[in-house]
Amino acid sequence: MKVIDAKGLACPQPVILTFQQIKKEDEDFDVLVDDEASRENVIRLLKKYEKRFSLEKSGKETIFHIKK
């Protein structure tokens, strides 16, 4: 499974990396973010493209589990 580690990256980088993986449509993947703005923007992107996902929060870190 592909893991995109976007921790420490400022927006829009986490969104761009997530979008690039969405376009590939080849496998489930995870995205790691540690910023509230990035978390909200990734959620908006996933909803816009109607992706199925779940998320886990641990402190400041959020892990998105995105289904193909």
Ordered by start, the domain boundaries in the chain are 2-66
Confidence (pLDDT) at 1 = 87
pTM, 2 dp = 0.93
Bridge partners, 29 (sequence order) = 2, 66
Which residue carries 């986490």 as its tokens?
A: 14
Q: Are 64 and 37 in contact (CB under 8 A)?
A: no
Q: Is the Cβ–Cβ distance between 18 and 51 less than 8 Å?
A: no
| Type of residue at 34 | D
Average pLDDT over residues 51-58: 96
CATH class, 2-66 region: alpha beta
Provide mean pLDDT across the span 18-33: 94
